[in-house]
Amino acid sequence: MVGIIAEYNPLHNGHKYLIDEAKKLFKNQTIICILSGNFTQRGDVSIIDKFKRAQEAINAGCDLVIELPFPFATQSADYFAKGALSLLNHLKVENLVFGSEANDINTLIEIASIQNNNDNFNTLVGIYSKQGYNYPTALSLAIKDLTNKVIDTPNDLLGVSYIKEILKNNYNIKPTIIKRTSNYHSYELKETSSATAIRNAIINNVNIEKEVPKFTLKDINNIHKIEDYFNILKYKIITEKDLSIYQTVDEGIDKLLKKNIAKATNYKELIQLTKSKRYTYNKICRMLLHILCNFTKEKANEFNKITYIRPLAFNNKGKIYLNKIKKELSIPIISKITKEKDKMLEYELSTTLIYDLGNESTYYKEIHNNPYKKDAN
């Protein structure tokens, strides 16, 4: 079985290329995608809802799509990896395929091993953090000091987090990389544009028909934008007495948020006013998202492990595989929320209600729809 971990925000030609390459490398294997829900690891909203994106994943060549719950999907790379790899391990997946800028699996494994086992690594990260560097930069500097190698691109850093999780838990999962064909943060539109460039184009009403498959293009309507949630976030920041109860909100920055919300006129301006050498743009985004979605430190501690498997979509091949392993699983498969009482799933439902405040309602799909089924091999 082959695993792919994704956000598909939205699914574009580069994503389709990775799925196609995975199918070439692992012929006749079941392709299982772990997909983040309506909110992303960068602290953003999904431009298209998770149900449509799950269908797109099936149309792109995946056989089974499983949701990565909010408490894992919207946190740091290590926690994102923890949730995704736990799901893949439960699902008996043997191979993980992901994109890489460096395209050097041995280097990524070496760095992951050092991070897991070398006490000097954590010491160096601590030293650089005290010097005012944000965590990703401190991480890269510590890696360079110990290996004389530079790993600072998003997919490579995320790949290291995947491998760390595999090694730490002794999962029987082999990582395989596929060379990325686009710059993660590039705003340039081309045949294999980044998701960042495509989202920017969509928001600015630029034609993207050459950058995404036709089945993605038809879903780009009634899009969700983080700016649409600013007034809700502003109300929460103003009325909440103690912002430090929320996950990722450190003591001190809570007061800065209170100060800056009075000045900011939109979401982006609030982030720009608040970010610093220590607090990256993405960390501020995650912080604000956790406030918006009422994700407290208490909830983060409570929801610290995967407790269910939730299929969002599958084809015949994926359905057969899910039925085959059902009796071997140590956690339940949940297809209908209304029949289950899992606390983390109930919280997931509350985040959908918040997501719906931005645009098109998906709540009915959340509680009434069975997983999308495509009659295909």
| Residues 161 and 40 placed together within one structural domain of the fold | yes
User: Over its length of 377 residues, how does the chain's per-residue pLDDT go in tens digits?
Assistant: 999 999 999 999 999 999 999 999 999 999 999 999 999 999 999 999 999 999 999 999 999 999 999 999 999 999 999 999 999 999 999 999 999 988 899 999 999 999 998 889 989 999 998 898 888 888 889 999 998 888 888 899 999 999 999 999 999 999 999 987 655 455 566 555 788 889 999 988 899 999 999 999 999 988 999 999 999 999 999 999 999 999 999 888 999 999 999 999 999 999 999 998 888 899 999 999 999 999 999 999 999 999 999 999 999 999 999 999 999 999 999 988 766 679 999 999 999 999 999 877 788 888 777 788 887 54
Is 128 inside any structural domain?
A: no
Residue type, 331: I
CATH number of the structural domain spanning residue 168: 3.40.50.620
Q: Is residue 195 part of a domain?
A: yes
Using the 3D structure, point to which of 300, 333, 363 is the last residue of a domain.
300
Rounded Cα distance, 318 and 54, in Å: 13
pTM assigned to the model: 0.93
Number of structural domains in the chain = 2
Please tell me the distance from the alpha carbon of residue 80 to that of residue 84, in angstroms, as a whole number. Answer: 6
Tell me if 140 is assigned to some domain: no
Task: Name the domain boundary from 266, 300, 334.
Answer: 300
Clarify whether residues 160 and 296 are in a common domain.
no
Shared domain for 12 and 49, answered yes or no, is yes
Q: Per-residue DSSP letters for 46-88?
A: -SS-HHHHHHHHHHHT-SEEEEEPHHHHTS-HHHHHHHHHHHH
Same domain, 290 and 329: no
One domain for residues 320 and 287: no
- Residue 270's nearest CA partner among 236, 242, 299 is 236
94 burial level (CB within 10 Å; 0-12, 13-18, 19+): middle
Q: Which of 267, 300, 333 is the last residue of a domain?
A: 300
Residues 334, 353 share a domain: yes
267 inside domain:
yes
Q: Which domain holds residue 23?
A: 2-101+153-224+306-374
Is 2 in a helix, a strand, or coil? strand
